[in-house]
Chains A and B, each alone.
Chain A
Amino acid sequence: MPLLQVNNLSHSFGGLRAVSSFSLTVDHDMVWGIIGPNGAGKTTVFNLVTGVYKPDSGSVLVNGENIEGLPSNRIVAKGISRTFQNIRLFKSMTVLDNIRTGAYCRLGYSPAAAIMRTPSFLRAERDATERGRALLSEFGLGDRENHIASSLPYGMQRKVELARALVSTPCVLLLDEPGAGMNPSELDGLADLILRIKREYGVAVVLIEHRMRLVMRLCDRVKVLNFGETIFEGKPQDLAANATVVKAYFGEADEPAAR
């Protein structure tokens, strides 16, 4: 059974068809890439899968279970985590608290247990703190746990967001342009990190990305969107050979090539 199965998802904003008949099957141990020009509907797909928007038609199955109508927080609890194109950390919180917030659905204690500070509450909190610290030190942010999240440099904020998405123990990780604003060497570091996450936490990854360097290194399969339509699906190596993709995404021959 696939971890995540998206069937014929469509969505319109007013008269604009943002996504039409989008399908995706994410299996274990897999990295999918979704690419396409700005406004192609890539982030809308993530928003539909995570319940931010309700699709006009189509269905989303997580581990075979239809998640139609579930609120976002329940979808995350079922194992779909994501990051955001524009980093959305909780800016007044410390780095560690940002990550512990991501563990909300894995902490089962009741408000009464929290008010009484029962032993099971204390145990659960200690576990969450240890897991958060372990993630931070793995991402090389061990000495930053008490920093206010918004005070960190951009690249570190991306990593904190990644750690926050992982602490809810997802089976599929949706990453929205994780490489934006990074230089080539930072991109290679990010690629290594994503591969390590995939291996160690056993998550499948779906990646929206413009940076071909990252797409080529990471993705097993790629989907290309243009104006909401899927115009290509296949191996990343075959991208350049596909005339439609080249025209839609990389532009005509006299324009500068991809970054």
Chain B
Amino acid sequence: MAKRHIPLILFAAGLTTCLALDLTGGLDPYVAQIVIYIGINIILTVSLNLVNGYMGEFSVGHAGFMAVGAYAAAYASVNLLPHSAWFFPLALATGGICAGLLGLLVAIPAFRARDDYLAIITLALLMIVKSAFDNLPWFGGPQGFYGIEKYTNLSWVFVWTVLSVAAIRNIVYSRFGRAIIAIRDDEIAATLVSVDTRHTKILAFVTSSFFAGIAGGLFAHVIQFINPRTFSLVKSTDILLMLYLGGGGSLAGSIVGATIWTLAIEFLRFLGIWRFVVAPVALIVLMIYRPRGIMGGRELPWLVPRDYRKE
């Protein structure tokens, strides 16, 4: 058995475990819910990492892409597709593609604007998305969108988490990933060593928003009710927080950051409203001692493709 089969075997084992737990209901529903949120948050954080961590932009609109994915997937599964779990992947894909198209729109101003200006553009996007769902007649307005089936389970979350991490890893360790990091380090020099920065930015934004849309679709089908307030700036801030907690520019950082933050918010529940004081204070302390996040931009070796590892 070759070494390169190990990831595939681990994937099969993980999926089998998830399927067994889903079918037998062997996991406490509360625990299962937390695990599902961890998966969704990993997808959100890893996808934001591509733009904010690797490319060094500062997008604050990730919740907007998530919202588009959530609404589009929910609309598809409730109103367009037959009511069967078999069509759930199609609903999710609808959410991902709609969010990806919106990402394409954001990539265009990103050709010129950077840093604070791009942050403002993405903030504006978030506001537009939120007020669109508040006011468009098809999505329930401020009351929200009801009647979404609970299709999201451990297996789907597992599959999509692995897919998003793998896809983003494979982009990072290719000419496109080098181009993305080159844009972060020195955009002018990047174009002058033949990097197509426009193409690269489109790829980064579309991939990032596609997976945010998938995460939104998964989220809608576990919480079963969404409204525009769910996807406010606070949601974007949450994702940013998980990213910088783990450290930008590292897949392991995103996984660790999303997991720790999701668990922390749950385990601190006994503190009541004080958990929203304690957790951020803990974060500030961490940032003082590890300003580049828990992983500090480093990667776990097994997340790096074999041909990229340093001998």
Contact = CB atoms under 8 A, between A and B. Distances in A.
Contact of B196 (A52, A91, A104): A104
B186 A88 contact: yes
A128 B207 CA distance: 25
A109 interface: yes
Contacts of A117: 170, 305
Interface stretch (B128-136, B173-181, B230-238): B173-181
B188 A115 contact: no
A109 B189 contact: no
Interface in B190-221: 190-198, 203, 207
B182 interface: yes
Given A90-B190, A92-B181, 4 more contacts: A76-B191, A76-B192, A92-B297, A109-B174
A116 B163 CA distance: 11
B278 interface: no
A24 B246 CA distance: 53
B179 A93 contact: no
A101 B307 contact: no
A50 B186 CA distance: 16
A109 B245 CA distance: 34
B175 A52 contact: no
B307 A129 contact: yes
A114 B297 CA distance: 22
A121 interface: yes
Interface of A: 50, 52, 71-73, 76-77, 81-82, 84, 88-93, 97, 100-107, 109, 111, 114-117, 121-122, 125-126, 128-129, 146, 164-165, 168
The 6 closest A-B pairs by CB, nearest first: A105-B194, A114-B174, A90-B185, A76-B194, A88-B189, A72-B191
A111 B189 contact: no
B307 A122 contact: yes
A89 B190 CA distance: 9
10 contacts: A71-B196, A73-B196, A88-B186, A90-B186, A92-B181, A93-B185, A101-B181, A101-B193, A107-B175, A125-B175
Contact of B193 (A111, A114, A165): A165
Contacts of B195: 73, 101, 104
B281 interface: no
B275 interface: no
Contact of A73 (B176, B191, B249): B191
A114 B192 contact: no
A115 B310 CA distance: 21
B11 to A, nearest CB: 15
A157 to B, nearest CB: 13
What secondary structure prevails in chain A residues at the interface with B? helix
B77 to A, nearest CB: 26
A19 B30 CA distance: 71
Contacts of B305: 117
Contacts of B188: 52, 88
Given A104-B179, A117-B305, A122-B307, A73 B194 contact: yes
Given A114-B170, A114-B171, A121-B174, A91 B194 contact: no
A158 to B, nearest CB: 14
Contacts of A92: 181, 184-185, 249, 297
B27 interface: no
A93 B197 CA distance: 17
Given A104-B179, A114-B170, A117-B170, A82 B307 contact: no
Contacts of B191: 71-73, 76
B178 A100 contact: yes
B194 A102 contact: yes
Nearest to B188: A52
B279 interface: no
B284 interface: no
B303 interface: no
Given A90-B186, A126-B307, A101 B192 contact: no
A231 to B, nearest CB: 28
A82 B179 CA distance: 17
A146 B192 contact: no
A76 B181 contact: no
Contacts of A50: 192
A176 B190 CA distance: 17
A73 B171 CA distance: 20
Nearest to A108: B175
B181 A90 contact: yes
B90 interface: no
A101 B178 contact: yes
Given A111-B176, A115-B167, A117-B305, A82 B182 contact: no
